[in-house]
Amino acid sequence: MDDSLSKLLILIPAFPLAAAIIIAITGPKLLKQWSHVPVIVALVASFICSLGLLNEVRRRSASVDREHSGLVHAGFEHVVNLWTWADIHEAYELPGVSYGNSEISILDQGTRDFRIDITLRADALTAIMLSMVTFISTLVAIFGAGYMHGDRGYWRFFAYIGLFVFSMTMLVSVSNFILLFVFWEAVGVCSYLLIGFWYEKPEAAAAGKKAFLVNRVGDFGFALALFLIWTTYGTLNYHDTRADGETDPVLVAQAMETQLAGDAPGDNDSLVVRGVVGRWRVAANDYATGGVALAICLLLLLGACGKSAQFPLHVWLPDAMEGPTPVSALIHAATMVTAGVYMVTRCTPLFMASPEAQLTVACVGAFTALLAGLIAMTQYDLKRVLAYSTVSQLGYMFLALGTGTVVGISAGMFHLFTHAFFKALLFLGAGSVMHAMGNVIDMRRFGGLRKLMPTTHATFMIGCLALAGFPLLSGFFSKDSIVAAVHDRVHTIEHELDHRDSHEMHGATVDSGHAQHEAAEEGKAGSPLASWDHDQLHRFAVVYQWLYYSAMFTAFLTAFYTFRAFYMTFYGKEVIPHEAGHHAHESPPMMAWPLMVLAVCAALAGFSLDRTIIEGPNSFGTFLLQTPSLADGAAAATFEPFKFHKNVAGTSGAIAIVAILLATYMYLGHQREIEWIRRLMDFEQFGKWFDVESVSRWKEVAWVKQLHTAAQSVRLGWLTAGIGNVILLLALIAATPFMLGHFVSPYKLSLGKFFIDEIYQLLIVLPLRGFAVVCYAIDRWIVDGFVNLVGRIPLLAGGLMRSLQMGLVQFYALAMVLGVLVLLVARAVLAAG
Amino acid sequence: MTALLLAQTVLAISSPMTWGIGVGTAGLALRLAPQVAWQKLGLLLALIGIALIGVALPPLGEALPQVLFWLMATLAVLASGAAVTSRSPVYAAIWFAVSLLGTAGLFLLQGAQFLGIATIVVYAGAIVVTFLFVLMLAQPEGHSPYDRISWAGFAIPMAAIGVALVIGMLVGSLPDFAPVGPPSEVLHEEHVARLGGQLFARHLVSVEVVGTILLVALVGAIAIVIQGNPRRKPLVQESEAGR
Amino acid sequence: MNEAALLQNYLVVGGLLFGIGLLGFMVRRNMIVMFLCAEMMLQGVSVSAIAFGRYHNDWGGQMLVIFIIAVAAAEAGIALALILMLYHKSGTLDMAFWQDMREEGQPAFVDQGVPEERAEDRVWPTLTPAGVEPAVDQEEQQHRSNV
């Protein structure tokens, strides 16, 4: 606790929380137009603390004793135990499934306490995420102070921002799945509040609700995954602890050695509870495999899909653009949506145990990237284009994580890191445009703004180039490393296949293959590939190969739609919507300034952190691999030295440049070609060939008429008429697919976002609504009816008794007499008895 | 048990007492009917009923008390029947006073001299007179339609059954009692002195309580009457208004 | 004297008085008569109490009757005051007039038909005239009218 790392870990989330509380209390009455001050101050402080933390983690992980003790020999983590939230003794009896290293699996048997410690952790992954989050949020808060100026909910905005940054920093720094879930939900709530920030707008309220509900689907999967993790591993902590909650690695290591030596622990408290991604477990690669692993991973993936807007749960993110633009930049582009990526990265060892799950992650990522790229091609809403590009880039990150190699995961995190800069930059740039255009965001209604807004234009261009993967900008390096990782994956699998084939050819009966030999030689824990059979390797190789092509194609789409939006906004004839009035001007310095900072970062972040192109070090990757999850076990076994793939990078760079040039050619000038392509893609060219009405008009055409008259004159009129009828019939038959094609032409599909919203509406919302109506009817008529009936019984009984109340004294006397009679008769009967 | 109950029921039904109560009740009911002929028939039936009840009563063993008892009891019961059935409330009050005389006679016959006199003085002399006084105040015309209507339908059989049951039980359970001996105490020569001694020694608290009740009733009656009458305006103002 | 027979006779008479009073209370509508019937029920109880007292050779019966008389007097005072007040409010002694206190929605009791009033019912009890009616001095009458 008195350690500098611990202090920093606590301070980083504490500043934004304090700012949020201060604003919530004093904002409406006291601070008013100065509400941004506490948040900006707190975020700057948090950022400085994050840098300190980053530096400290770097320093310590560089000097970490690689032969610390026994099994654990790599990675650095620092865990701060604040207090115990819940502690239920002997909550669960672990069945002790035999998986992996059976000698060590014995450690997972026995009764486990259900214990939730409020613990924070510092490791490379957390340090990177913290610095990124606090940096982006600082800039966004400064931008927001200019952007939101004069808004009625000014203080509310900054209170939410403070709360969000608190939740997000906690999310990346907690060391427990339960707390991860708690702050996972907390950022969801902040996102909901900020999407629906202008709650008077029905679209904003609906978008907030949609985001919240769609995320519930993912959270449902996440929660199930947590249950499964708990019943499988008996703990939800990331890190290793003793059963009494002691986290000191030295003490844990001592207890571990005692236990491994076979000595019974002195008391129950000194039992070692190995964390889910704790160093001892990772080092021993002691993870459940098979169905359980697949289930855990797929459920975690569902949770990640919800938060990171991957197909099929991506529908909320584009709608989330109803929120204020700084929010889009901060939450829905740079930070919160990367929580899924962070979570999958954190759980790398779990995914390593299930190659099928990794493949699913990669497929989901690649498919989402492609789908979102296709949709972004035709959108006219600038923020929506950016939103779909976010979805697409997140898909890239999932693709990278799905390769299942350390290089791939490092590439995914690197893309997350660089993407945060240029996507925040693009969104803030879009915000700047919106600010100038009087909140108009439809690209058809403005254009040629480069003279009007030079700063925004320049910074936006840098962001676009980075996003498109223009060589030597940050996006180029990160995207290239993803594509290269996929390529590497294919290569590794094929290599393994070749090796096995050659072994078989040489008559070797070893089917465990090359990888195991190599692993054994190098003293690693064994490459995951070793356990795969031939068919599996083959299938995976094919799938990854296709994913590679898909990624390349998506890179082309990305560059194209980015520059389409860029040209539509800043080039062409100068158009200013009337909403802008006479205020169309460059944004104030408070907004321009963060744009410039971000532009510099977007341009330089790639090269400065990954200098493999000049045979330099990949400092980002090297640092990230100090994370315990990645430093050991199966993940580390896939490690290959970071290197620059010249041919892959050259291909993707060339694709990006070609796409940019194509967009330049099409969107600068008269745009005839793009219109022609649009019509082609909308099947309009083929329309008249299948339209029954136009076919029936053929007989009016001069030469057809002449032919028909000529045929009639030689008594062959029936022939021409028959041919005409047959053609008409064919047109009629073709009409149905044509009509369908008219509605699902590629252009319409893209413009209509592949109708996924509508399909959900039809398949999920409507049945659920019908079910709700049925439930309502049951509740209203059956349950309520029963309750009301019960309520009416006393009323009816009372009604019967009411008729006795005649108001005549004589009647009351008679009633008394009757009562006395009853008593007398009873007395007589008793006396007789 | 059921058999015993049945036997008792048969015994009760065959007894002239039961018949007497039944006939007398029918007589009373007829007395309340509007038709004059039925009223006369009712009187006849009531007399028959009293006679039947008298037949059922055991003899007292001595001639004079027997005659006096017959006289007083018949007077009391007949007068009370008349009080209940007479149309005019004034006559009802007077018949009640007559019934009280019979009751007082019965008291005296039992040796309760003080109570006999007290009943005449307090009841017949004070309470009944108060009744009449209130009648004068409230109903000076002396007759009203609601006095000519009675609700005999359901109430009379119920009351008759009740009375039959009460009397049947009281009389039926008599053999269980054993007389303590000759009533030397209540028939003592210094009857009133002993009564007073008992009253102010053993029942002193009760006497105090009753005294308090009487006082409270007095105050209460005054309070009720005052509350109902709005306070008159001062005379001065009234005369000024007259000018 | 046969004490048991005496007790039995008195109990029957007390029971009859009580029953007649009860019956009267239930069938009559004049408040004063109803109250009178209640007093009659008290008389029935008093007769029984006296008889039991003698039978058991105990003063308790007579004591009870003394208190009954006292309470009846108090009751009479209160009840008659109340009756007077009710009469002031309603102008009638009819108990059915106060059936407004019945439960809401209950049908009101309505008289089905009032029997014809007979001449003798209308008559107040009178005393037989006694003595000689003094002669009326005409002059004095005239003189008085001038006062």
Residues in chain B with CB shorter than 8 Å from the CB of A815 are none
Chain B: touching chains (3 or more CB pairs < 8 Å): A, C
Distance from CA of A790 to the nearest CA of C (A): 23
Residues in chain C with CB shorter than 8 Å from the CB of A803 are 103, 106
b/e string for B180-193 if b means 16 or more Cβ within 10 A?
Answer: eeebebbeeeebee
Distance from CA of C5 to the nearest CA of B (A): 6
Q: Which of C86, C102, C104 to mutate to test the interface with A (most CBs of A within 10 A)?
A: C102
CB distance from A818 to chain B under 8 Å? yes
Maximum Cα–Cα distance for chain A, whole Å? 129
Cβ-based neighbours of B35, under 8 Å, separated by 6 or more: none
Distance from CA of B190 to the nearest CA of A (A): 40
Using DSSP, state whether C6 is helix, strand or coil.
Answer: helix
Residues in chain A with CB shorter than 8 Å from the CB of B162 are 817, 820-821, 824
Dihedral Cα B79, B83, B85, B90, nearest 10 deg: 140
Strands A78-94 and A241-242: unpaired
Distance from CA of C74 to the nearest CA of B (A): 5
What length does chain C have?
147
b/e string for A653-664 if b means 16 or more Cβ within 10 A?
Answer: bebbeebbebbe
Query: In this structure, is residue C89 part of a structural domain?
Result: yes
Residues in chain A with CB shorter than 8 Å from the CB of B168 are 828
Distance from CA of C137 to the nearest CA of B (A): 31
Cβ-based neighbours of A525, under 8 Å, separated by 6 or more: A283, A284, A285, A519, A632, A633, A634, A636, A637
Using DSSP, state whether A273 is helix, strand or coil.
Answer: strand
Q: Do C106 and A807 touch (CB under 8 A)?
A: yes
Q: Could you give the CA distance from residue C1 to residue A531 in angstroms, rounded to a whole number?
A: 124
CB distance from B154 to chain A under 8 Å? yes
Q: Are A216 and A210 in contact (CB under 8 A)?
A: no
Cis status, amide bond into A312, omega within 30 of 0: yes
Q: Do C106 and A805 touch (CB under 8 A)?
A: yes
How many degrees, rounded to 5, is the angle at CA A65 between CA A62 and CA A69?
Answer: 150
Residues in chain B with CB shorter than 8 Å from the CB of C43 are 76, 80, 99-100, 103, 123
Q: Residue A832: which of B4, B154, B165 has the nearest Cβ?
A: B4
Cβ atoms within 10 Å, residue A383: 27
The CATH number linked to C65 is: 1.10.287.3510
Distance from CA of A804 to the nearest CA of C (A): 8
Q: Are C71 and B123 in contact (CB under 8 A)?
A: no
CB distance from B134 to chain A under 8 Å? no
Q: Could you give the CA distance from residue A325 to residue A143 in angstroms, rounded to a whole number?
A: 10
- Among A465, A222, A508, A169, smallest CA distance to A350 is for A222
**Residue A361 structure tokens:** 């992650």
Query: In this structure, is residue C17 part of a structural domain?
Result: yes
Give the residue on B whose Cα is nearest the Cα of C95. Answer: B146
Query: DSSP states of A672-741 as a string?
Result: HHHHHHHHHHTTHHHHHHH-HHHHHGGGGSHHHHHHHHHHHHTT-HHHHHHHHHHHHHHHHHHHHHHHHH
Whether B201 shows a pLDDT value over 70: the answer reads: yes
Residues in chain C with CB shorter than 8 Å from the CB of A806 are 99, 102-103, 106, 109
**Residue C9 structure tokens:** 């006779």
Q: Are B98 and B74 in contact (CB under 8 A)?
A: no
Q: Which residues of chain A have pLDDT under 50?
A: 1, 67-72, 508-526
pLDDT at residue number C122: 63
Query: In this structure, is residue C133 part of a structural domain?
Result: no
Cβ atoms within 10 Å, residue A610: 26
Using DSSP, state whether B133 is helix, strand or coil.
Answer: helix
Using DSSP, state whether C97 is helix, strand or coil.
Answer: helix
Q: Do B89 and C55 touch (CB under 8 A)?
A: no
Q: Are B183 and C54 in contact (CB under 8 A)?
A: yes
Query: DSSP states of A482-549 as a string?
Result: HHHHHHHHHHHHHHHHHHHHHHHHTT----SHHHHHHHHHHT-S--GGGG--HHHHHHHHHHHHHHHH
pLDDT at residue number A292: 85
Q: Do C26 and A806 touch (CB under 8 A)?
A: no
Residues in chain A with CB shorter than 8 Å from the CB of B151 are 810
Whole-angstrom CA distances from B6 to A521, B10, B160 are: 111, 6, 20
Distance from CA of B63 to the nearest CA of A (A): 35
HSE-CB of C17 using CA atoms within 13 angstroms: 31
- Among A239, A336, A233, A350, smallest CA distance to A290 is for A350
How many degrees, rounded to 5, is the angle at CA A747 between CA A743 and CA A748?
Answer: 35
Query: DSSP states of A766-777 as a string?
Result: HHHHHHHHHHHH
CB distance from A800 to chain C under 8 Å? no
Query: In this structure, is residue C93 part of a structural domain?
Result: yes
- Interface contacts (A, B; CB < 8 Å): 35
Query: DSSP states of A184-200 as a string?
Result: HHHHHHHHHHHHTSSTT
| A120 φ, ψ (degrees, to nearest 5) | -110, 155
A28-65 residue pLDDT tens? 888 778 888 899 999 999 999 999 999 988 888 777 65
Look at A509 and B117; give whichever has higher pLDDT.
B117
pLDDT at residue number C145: 58
What kind and span of H or E run contains A183? helix A177-195
Give the residue on C whose Cα is nearest the Cα of A817. Answer: C22
Using DSSP, state whether A384 is helix, strand or coil.
Answer: helix
CB distance from A807 to chain C under 8 Å? yes
- Among A479, A284, A511, smallest CA distance to A393 is for A479
b/e string for A583-606 if b means 16 or more Cβ within 10 A?
Answer: ebebbeeebbbbbbbbbebbbebb
- Interface contacts (B, C; CB < 8 Å): 318
Q: Residue C26: which of A805, A807, A813 has the nearest Cβ?
A: A813
Look at A84 and B186; give whichever has higher pLDDT.
A84
Query: In this structure, is residue C77 part of a structural domain?
Result: yes
The distance in angstroms from the start CA to the end CA of chain C is 72
Q: Which of C80, C82, C98, C109 to mutate to test the interface with B (most CBs of B within 10 A)?
A: C80
Residues in chain C with CB shorter than 8 Å from the CB of A808 are 95-96, 99, 102, 109
Q: What is the 3-state secondary structure (H, E, C) of A50-66?
A: HHHHHHHHHHHHHCCCC
Q: Do A806 and C27 touch (CB under 8 A)?
A: no
Give the residue on B whose Cα is nearest the Cα of C30. Answer: B147
Q: Which residue has the tokens 């700084």?
A: A326
Domain that holds residue C12: 1-98
CB distance from A759 to chain C under 8 Å? no
Q: Do B213 and C74 touch (CB under 8 A)?
A: yes
Distance from CA of C20 to the nearest CA of B (A): 6
Distance from CA of C39 to the nearest CA of B (A): 9
pLDDT at residue number B230: 59
**Lowest mean pLDDT across A10-14, A300-304, B9-13, B205-209:** B9-13
Query: In this structure, is residue C118 part of a structural domain?
Result: no
Q: Which residues of chain C have pLDDT under 50?
A: none
Per the structure, how many domains does chain C have?
1
Q: Do B8 and A832 touch (CB under 8 A)?
A: yes
Which amino acid appears at position A792 of this protein?
Answer: R
Question: From the centroid of its chain, how far is CA A130?
Answer: 18
Cβ-based neighbours of A679, under 8 Å, separated by 6 or more: A685
Query: In this structure, is residue C147 part of a structural domain?
Result: no
Distance from CA of A810 to the nearest CA of C (A): 5
Using DSSP, state whether B177 is helix, strand or coil.
Answer: coil
| DSSP letter, residue A347 | T
Using DSSP, state whether A830 is helix, strand or coil.
Answer: helix
Q: Residue B165: which of A814, A818, A828 has the nearest Cβ?
A: A828
Q: Could you give the CA distance from residue A648 to residue A488 in angstroms, rounded to a whole number?
A: 10
Give the residue on B whose Cα is nearest the Cα of A814. Answer: B155
Query: In this structure, is residue C140 part of a structural domain?
Result: no
CB distance from A647 to chain C under 8 Å? no
Q: Residue B106: which of C13, C28, C117 has the nearest Cβ?
A: C13
Q: Could you give the CA distance from residue A187 to residue A335 in angstroms, rounded to a whole number?
A: 10
Q: Do B169 and A828 touch (CB under 8 A)?
A: yes
- Among A410, A420, A419, smallest CA distance to A125 is for A410
How many degrees, rounded to 5, is the angle at CA A309 between CA A307 and CA A311?
Answer: 130
Dihedral Cα A323, A325, A327, A332, nearest 10 deg: 90
What kind and span of H or E run contains A249? helix A249-260
Give the residue on C whose Cα is nearest the Cα of A804. Answer: C103
Q: Which residue has the tokens 């002396």?
A: B142
**Residue C127 structure tokens:** 């005393």
Dihedral Cα A296, A301, A303, A307, nearest 10 deg: 160
Residues in chain B with CB shorter than 8 Å from the CB of C2 are 58-61
pLDDT at residue number A132: 92
Burial of C136 (0-12, 13-18, 19+ CB in 10 A): exposed
